[in-house]
Amino acid sequence: MFTERVRDLAHVGSVELFTPTPEESRAFFVDLLGMSESGRQGDSVYLHAWDDYERFTVKLTASSTSGIGRTYVRAASPQALERRAAQIGTGSWVEDELGIGRIYLCTDPDGHEVGLYWETERFTPSPGKGPALKNQADRFPGRGANVRRLDHVNYLSVDTPACGRFLTESLRARPTEQIVLDSGDVSAIWYTVSDKSYDLVYTNDWTGTHGRLHHVAFATDTREDILRAADVMLENGIHIETGPHKHAIQQTFFLYVWEPGGNRIELCNAGARLVLAPDWELISWTQAERAKGQAWGLKTIETFHTHGTPPVS
């Protein structure tokens, strides 16, 4: 049945990652991914990908362990923010983040914190270090993987359908693809809030632990960038978990690495793939299709199903 789409959210803005090795993790994001430092506050360092228009892309927070903190999602307008807040009802208003105004802070059913906001500070390059062309946020770094922007967040969840209802009913995200096991259980769902084919993803957490992260993904311009990134990671002793290769689901060209703090980071390129159809029909992948592996036959590596952050024994 067709349901008119409510586009109250614009895009995923930034994400907070926890790391037990803050200096090594900062070096990974700056030297190997090509981000720049755009602020410091308390135990956090703020990092910016060159084409993101807002103050920061990643808030890297020193902690006793790894994992994900808040995900910030920008509303489409001040009115849209008020509408989402009124419908969710269980969150609270805070104003406690660098470069972001009033935040409606809520949690998904698995305990991941989501901050919705409208007011945001634009990224400002250091004097004399800005881009040559005024229609991009910062100078192209020419360093490491040169990630352009935050692409998506993939959470682990104990109850993926419940998290899905939060996304579709409270955030008005739209599911585009899913995995349906032979038992009928849905084990993973990909959602979009924008014209991209996905922005937020939930995957079953086999450990039964709440609030964990599977991975955060950053977009590169080309597939070739992903191959170059693999060489950069290899040269610098970063654990390459799997790839470069192409996903069957969403067809994303990918590389997965573990940053020094343990969080899984994906470098991704989905080419020009957008979901423009207002009546897009949810694609379901079966357990047998999933067992075939990735698009060109590479079997999914075991740790892809077992590693999440923070780690659990």
Measuring CA to CA, how many Å separate 205 from each of 31, 157, 213, 305? 31, 5, 9, 8
199 contributes a contact to Fe ion by CB under 5 A: no
Q: In the complex, what is the shortest distance from the CB of residue 31 to Fe ion, in angstroms, rounded to a whole number?
A: 23
Q: Which stretch binds Fe ion (CB under 5 A): 79-87, 147-155, 277-285, 303-311?
A: 147-155
Q: How far is CA 244 from CA 126, 202, 253, in A?
A: 34, 22, 7
Sole window of 41-49, 84-92, 150-158, 283-291 interacting with Fe ion (rule: CB under 5 A): 150-158
The verdict on 103 binding Fe ion (CB under 5 A) reads: no
> CB of 4: closest distance to Fe ion in angstroms?
28
Report the C-alpha gap between 21 and 103 in whole angstroms: 28
Q: How far is the CB of 200 from Fe ion (least distance, A)?
A: 10
SS3 letters across 65-122: CCEEEEEEEEECCHHHHHHHHHHHCCCEEECCCCCECCEEEEECCCCCEEEEECCECE
Q: Which one of 147, 179, 188, 217 is in contact with Fe ion (CB under 5 A)?
A: 217
Q: Of the candidates 99, 266, 267, 308, which one interacts with Fe ion according to CB under 5 A?
A: 266
Q: Does 33 bind Fe ion (CB under 5 A)?
A: no
Place of tokens 């960038």: 225
153 binds Fe ion (CB under 5 A): no
Count of residues near Fe ion by CB under 5 A: 3
Rounded CA-CA distance 50/36 in Å is 8
Binding site for Fe ion (CB under 5 A): 154, 217, 266
